[in-house]
Amino acid sequence: MRSVLLLLFIWTWTSSALVRVPLKRVPSIRSQLRSEGLLQEFLKENRPDMFGRRYSQCFPPGTPSLRLGRSSEKIYNFMDAQYFGDITLGTPGQNFSVVFDTGSSDLWVPSTYCVSQACATHKRFRAFESTSFRHDGRMFGIHYGSGHLLGVMGRDNLTVAGMTAKNQEFGESVYEPGSAFVMARFDGVLGMGYPALAEILGNPVFDNMLAQKLLDQPVFSFYLSRKTASGTPEGELLLGGIDEALYNGPINWLPVTAKGYWQIKMDSLVVQGVSPFCSHGCQAIIDTGTSLIAGPTEDILNIQQLIGASPTNIGEFIIDCARLISLPRITFVLGGKEYTLTSEHYVRKEMLGDRMLCFSGFQAVDMVSSEGPLWILGDVFLTQFYSIFDRGQDRVGLATAKQPVVV
C-alpha cells in the first residue's frame, strides 16, 4: 500500500517543540467491506457486536497481564478507524501509517516475520535492518472475533513529524487475523490513552515524549475535518499545544474522571429538546479511533427509532436519504455546554455503485465502567469539535471546529 505523504512542520518554542502531524481521512473499513460486498461475510465470520469492536487482553487468554500483578480486559476499536498519519521507526527510518488512537495506549506495527495475508499488503518492520533496535522477548496479544493479533515486543527510536523519541517500546505483530486488516489503509496503531490502558510494559508514546522533554506542553489536540476544500488538510494532530486557527469560540474544559481512556462526565443527551437519555448523568470517552457514536444498546435502539433508522441484514441501520431535513437535532450536554449535531452531522452518506445510501452514525456497544455504562464519542462527533487532551491537568477541552469551505 502506498504510504501517505505528510507535510511536516516543526515550530520550536524555547527548548521544546510544537509538532504538526497532518492526518489523512479515508473510508472506514466497514464501508470498504460493504462496497466490495464482503461486509456480511466478515460480520458472520468475526461475530462482532453491533459496534464492530474487539476485546483486548493479554496473551495467552487467562494468563497474567504483561504488567506484573494485573490482568485486564480492555476495549479497543481499530476496525472503523478513518484518520491516520505517518511515523518512522528505527535507524535508518522505516515508514508506517498508523491510527493515532485516544482509545488505546500501545504502539504496534506489522513485523517482517508476520505470516498473515494482511501483512503482505502492508509495510513490515525489519528489525535486523535497524542499528538502534533492542529486542525485548515478551509477547503481546489482542483478541479479535476471528482470533488473536499476536506479536513480540521491542524498543527503537520513533520519529513523528521530525521529532524523535528514543528507546520507544512497541509491538511487532506476527499474526493479524481476518479480512478487516487486509482492507485497512493503515499499517498499525499508535495509542494515546493513559498508561493504565497499555498492555506493553513501559511508557506509551506520548509519555515517552514528555519524559524526554520533547514537547512544549503536556498537551495534544485533534482537528478532524469531514469535508475538505482544495488544499485544505483533512485532519491534524498537534503535539505539544493548541492551534487557535482551527476552532471558534472558547474552550470548554472537562475533567477526566478515570485515567485510562480519556473519560469524562456527560450531563445528558437531548433529542429535539427532550432528554430521555442519560438524564442523571453518565460517563463518556473521547475516542479518535472510533468512527461512530456508541452507547448502551437499549438507548441506541431508541435513538435509531427516533431518527427513523431501520436495521439491515448486515447489522447496520439505514435511513431514507430524502428524510434527512426532517430528522431531529441531537444534543450532548457536557460540562453544562450543549454540543448539537444535525442529521448532516450524524448521518453518513456513502455511494454503493450509482446509488446514495444514508447510514446512521449511532451504533450500540455495552461497555461498562465502575461509574456505569460508557458512551463513546467518536469521529462523527469529533469532526464538529476541536478536541484537546491535557495530561498536565488531566482534562479534555472541546471547542467548535472551523469547517473548511468546499469549492
Q: Which helix (H) or strand (E) holds 385?
A: strand 385-390
Cα–Cα distance, 212 to 202 (Å, whole number): 14
Burial (CB < 10 A; 0-12, 13-18, 19+), residue 231, is exposed
Q: Which helix (H) or strand (E) holds 347?
A: strand 347-352
Q: Cell 517482517 belongs to which residue?
A: 112
Cα–Cα distance, 71 to 92 (Å, whole number): 36
Is 101 one of the annotated active-site residues of the chain?
Answer: yes
- Pick from 273, 248, 249, 271: which is nearest to 403 by CA? 248
Report angle CA 241, 246, 248 to the nearest 5 degrees. 110
92: cis peptide before it, omega within 30°? yes
- Pick from 367, 374, 365: which is nearest to 52 by CA? 365
Cα 367 from chain centroid (whole Å) = 16
- DSSP code string of 70-87: ----EEE--TT--EEEEE
Residues facing residue 74 across a β-bridge: 56
Is 394 one of the annotated active-site residues of the chain?
Answer: no
Cα–Cα distance, 174 to 373 (Å, whole number): 34
Catalytic residue among 49, 86, 101, 267: 101
Residue 92: count other Cβ atoms within 10 Å of its Cβ.
9
- Pick from 168, 158, 165: which is nearest to 213 by CA? 165
Percent helix, strand and coil across the chain, each to the nearest 5 = 15, 45, 40
Number of H helices, E strands in the chain: 8, 32
Residue 299, by phi and psi: left (phi above 0), alpha (psi -120 to 50) or beta?
alpha
Task: Report CA Rg, the chain.
Answer: 20
Catalytic residue among 86, 287, 299, 379: 287
Active-site residue set = 101, 287
